[in-house]
Amino acid sequence: MRLRRGIILLAITMMAALTLNACGSKSTGRDALDSGVLRVGTEGTYSPFSYHDQTTRELVGYDVDVARAAGDKIGVRVEFVETPWDSIFAALEANRFDVVANQVSITPARQSKYDMSEPYSVSEGVIVTRTDDTSITSLADLTGRTAAQSMTSNWAQVARDAGARVEAVEGFTQAIKLLNQGRVDVVVNDSIAVYAYLAQTGDTSVKIAAQTGQKSTQGFAARKNSGLLPDLNTAIEELRRDGTLAAISQKYLNANATGAPTPASPAGQQSTWQLIRNNLVPLAKATITKTIPLTIISFVIGLAIALVVALARLSHNVLLHNAARLFISIIRGTPLLVQLFIVFFALPELHIKIDPFPAAVIAFSLNVGGYGAEIIRSAIKSVPKGQWEAAQTIGLGYAGALRRIVLPQAARVAVPPLSNTLISLVKDTSLASTILVTELLRTAQIAAAPTFEFFALYGTAAVYYWVICLALSFAQGRVEQRLERHVAR
Amino acid sequence: MTVKNGDLVNVQAITKAFGDNHVLDGVSFTVPAGSATTVIGPSGSGKTTLLRSLNALDVPDSGVISIGDITVDFARPISKDTISRYRAQSAMVFQAHNLFPHKTVLQNVTEGPLVAQRRSIEEVTSEAIGLLDRVGLADKRDDFPYQLSGGQQQRVGIARALALRPKLVLFDEPTSALDPELVGEVLAVIRDLATEGWTLVIVTHEIQFARQVSDQVLFIDGGKVLEQGPPSSVIGAPIHERTRQFLDRVLNPL
């Protein structure tokens, strides 16, 4: 059922290729069971399946509860690793965890690539209309009507095949909005998503008008030949038999399909302002403990790398010179996101496993190093040759001339473009959210997930980023002023 | 090879080529200690390269140069250490002064003695203030170079060179970049140094100055020393046709 847009499909494909080529010494999931801990990958931002309760901040949800219950049955402790959907399979391959519990649809393609368990949830295609619309009672009634659908979703094809005109939208929430506003007639999606939406929002302006007939099932995904399937399947079977699955479903999906769902959302009702107010401190905390340190550490290390690379590029040693050029070319020629993924997901294949925060520091430092090197190189070249000669003639060696005479003058030229790099870096750190660093953006995602209030929380996060950048711009002005004081105006 | 009694500098048959351009083509001369030598000649004759060779800013391809007790044979590989000891014998005053713009006047003068020679800050500072006083800039010690006139900047350049306590002071066209009314103050400082017994080598176009100040004049053309001797002969009564032509052009530009 989760057929989401693949913004970073390229990176994932690459990771997949890397992992497929990797040698066979991969640890199996069985090791995990023997160690007594089952590591479960889940989004943490996908309500009501995997999200953080707003009051307790604990990870909860349909899939989370099922995974916990299955762990109890198997007799292992369950540890959750929160990973964005777009990188969840790359992380599974990289052995960051043993199974994925995140409404993974069981498809033949996935079955050939992963160990897919028996299903623990079943959904069917449903047609959603406005509550007062009685003209649609079956798939056949879609002919000539307008449907709002996410283009990459299989439901778009279902609607089109039924003769509907399809308006492309970003996601389910936006589709329902268009339906509410009367701009489209129907939305086709799966029942679980619709139950979830109705349970979360208490929206009574739309209803489930009919079924499409398609069913889809969701289960756990593990690495191929993990050896986990027998235990997982037995556990799911027992949970189904003893009614645990049904209870979990009732708790999160409120899925008595006939009447209007009662708005007993686990979050309770909260105004947008209240939500923002409640999250000001957690967002600030993420900013201070993750975003700012990540920026500062990466920038400082990055500058050191940049200086070394710039000097290597200026060197007359052919080997050094070309190595520096290659480094700069690779860093500037590949997406930062891919660099992050390589450090975090691909290096474990070579048995180099790095925790999220240091992995982010490595990737960002190298990136700053590549861009900064060119800035520093051109700044050094802007210092007149006579300054080098004067430094030599008073007895300074290369290092002394560089440190005491040339770099202080180069700094004046380098500060404005390096400030650009720093300000970009502040915002680029948000990419670390894709490799499990709970920095500012990731914290906003987690807070927004159970509420459907993405705009409010992303907006708040944007304001935080902006404030940091304002402070940096101010600091840049001061530094420039200081460096300009020896220059005739 | 040793330095003859009384000679501070002995240059033997040095050559230097930049690609196909043979800038120095076997230049030899000596500089007696305590004397002022001026080097004159048409532009492109190699005189600046010659001067820079004495400070190893340009390294000759072959030939031998002795300054004080350091002798370097440029035809052989030379260690960095040798180069830096050789360079330490002399100090350079540049045409474009090349002061450090981010340092004050005093810091420009003390940088070399403090950082490269590792002398004590008290000693270096009081000596530097004395040198600035001597070039008439004691009150400018805390200014930055951009706040000074061209002549003042060049005088700081001279103080910076002297602060290194060199055996030999080299001047590369020290007044060529100056406005005409600022030339005099710089030449006056150099003249005083000559009187005080510093050993100087000066590349210049100021023929009158060369005549007044120098003990020895070298006329260089095409990478060779064509004529050398006291100013009364090289400038006053040149024997070589090229020297006469050059002097005529410089002294009577119209």
Strongest mean pLDDT among A197-211, A235-249, A304-318, A348-362: A304-318
Confidence band for A488, pLDDT divided at 50, 70 and 90: low
CA angle A306, A307, A309 (to 5 degrees): 65
Helix, strand, coil fractions of chain B, as percent rounded to 5: 40, 25, 35
**Interchain CB distance below 8 Å, A393 and B91:** yes
pLDDT value of residue A5: 40
User: A20-54 burial, b for 16+ CB within 10 Å, e for fewer?
Assistant: eeeeeeeebbeebbeeeebbbbbbbbbbbbbbbeb
Q: pLDDT at residue A182 above 90?
A: no
CB contact under 8 A, A392 and B96: no
Contact at CB, A393 and B116, closer than 8 angstroms: no
User: In chain B, what residues touch A409 (CB-CB under 8 Å)?
Assistant: 100-102
Q: What H or E segment, with its residue span, contains residue A42?
A: strand A37-42
- Test mutation, B105, B115, B118, B160, chain A, max A CBs within 10 A: B115
Residue B146 has pLDDT above 70, yes or no: yes
| Partner residue facing A486 (CB), from B92, B102, B112 | B102
Q: What is the pLDDT of residue A151?
A: 67
Local confidence band at A271 (pLDDT 50, 70, 90 cut-offs)? confident
Mean per-residue pLDDT over chain B, rounded: 93
> Are B146 and A487 within 8 A, CB to CB?
yes
What are the helix (H) ranges across A287-333?
Answer: 292-314, 318-333
Mutate to test the interface with A, among B49, B55, B102, B164 (most CBs of A within 10 A): B102
CA–CA gap between residue A436 and residue A432 (Å, rounded) = 7
Contact present, A5 and A152 (Cβ < 8 Å): yes
Q: Is the pLDDT of residue A256 over 80?
A: no
**Which one-letter amino acid corresponds to residue B164?**
L
pLDDT at position A24: 39
Q: Which tokens sit at B189?
A: 């400082």
Q: Report, as an integer, the average pLDDT of B206-229.
A: 93
Residue A21, pLDDT > 60, answer: no
pLDDT tens for A220-231 read 999 998 889 999
Partners of residue B173 in chain A, C-beta under 8 Å: none
Mean pLDDT confidence for A264-286: 77
Taken in order of first residue, the domains within chain A and their CATH numbers are: 9-120+218-253 (3.40.190.10), 123-216 (3.40.190.10), 272-486 (1.10.3720.10)
Q: How confident is the model at residue A419 (pLDDT cuts 50, 70, 90)?
A: very high
Calculate ∠ Cα A161-A167-A168, nearest 5°.
100
Q: How far apart are CA A225 and CA A217, in angstroms?
A: 21
For A147-151, A318-322, B32-36, which range has the lowest pLDDT when averaged over its residues? A147-151
At B232 the pLDDT is 93
The answer to whether B51 touches B172, Cβ cutoff 8 Å, is yes
Chain A CB within 8 Å of residue B79 CB: no
**Conformational region of residue B58, where left means phi above 0, alpha means psi within -120 to 50, and beta covers everything else:** beta
- pLDDT above 90 for B174: yes
Instruction: Select from B87, B101, B164 the Cβ nearest to the Cβ of A486.
Output: B101
pLDDT tens per residue, range B89-140? 999 999 999 999 999 999 999 999 999 999 999 999 999 999 999 999 999 9
Q: What is the pLDDT of residue A88?
A: 87
pLDDT of residue A260: 30
Distance from CA of A400 to the nearest CA of B (A): 8
Tell me whether residues B98 and A405 touch, CB distance under 8 A: no
More confident residue, A265 or A171: A171
Selected for mutation to probe chain B from A388, A394, A396, A402 (highest B CB count within 10 Å) is A394
Residue B96: its pLDDT value, please? 92
Q: Do B112 and A395 touch (CB under 8 A)?
A: yes
**Of A455, A457, A453, A450, nearest to A43 (Cα)?**
A450
**A394 to chain B: nearest residue by CA?**
B112
Q: pLDDT band at residue A3, thresholds of 50, 70 and 90?
A: very low
Q: Is the pLDDT of residue A18 over 80?
A: no
Q: Is B83 on the interface with A (CB under 8 A)?
A: no
Closest Cβ opposite residue A387 in set B88, B91, B98? B98
pLDDT-derived band at A36 (thresholds 50, 70, 90) equals confident
Contact A396 B94 (CB under 8 A): no
pLDDT digits (tens, 9 = 90+) for A366-416: 999 999 999 999 999 999 999 999 999 999 999 999 999 999 999 999 999
Mean pLDDT value of segment B144-172: 95
pLDDT at A264 over 60: no
pLDDT value of position A149 = 85
pLDDT at B1: 39
Determine contact: B146 vs chain A, CB below 8 A: yes
Residue with tokens 């939406």: A197
Specify the pTM.
0.71
How many pairs of residues across A and B have Cβ atoms under 8 Å apart? 64
* pLDDT (average), residues A18-34: 54
Question: Taking 50 as the threshold, does the pLDDT of residue A6 lie above it?
Answer: no
In this model, does residue A274 exceed pLDDT 50? yes
The yes-or-no verdict on residue B152 having pLDDT over 60 is yes
Confidence band of A433 (pLDDT split at 50, 70, 90): confident
A4 min Cα distance to partner chain B (Å): 57
Max avg pLDDT among A94-108, A132-146, A290-304: A290-304
Contact B101 A485 (CB under 8 A): no
Residue B57 at interface with chain A, using a CB cutoff of 8 Å: yes
Which domains are seen in chain B, by residue range?
1-89+168-184+195-254 (3.40.50.300), 96-165 (no CATH)
Q: Distance from A284 to chain B by nearest Cα, in Å?
A: 40
Q: Which two tokens stand for residue A143?
A: 């002919």
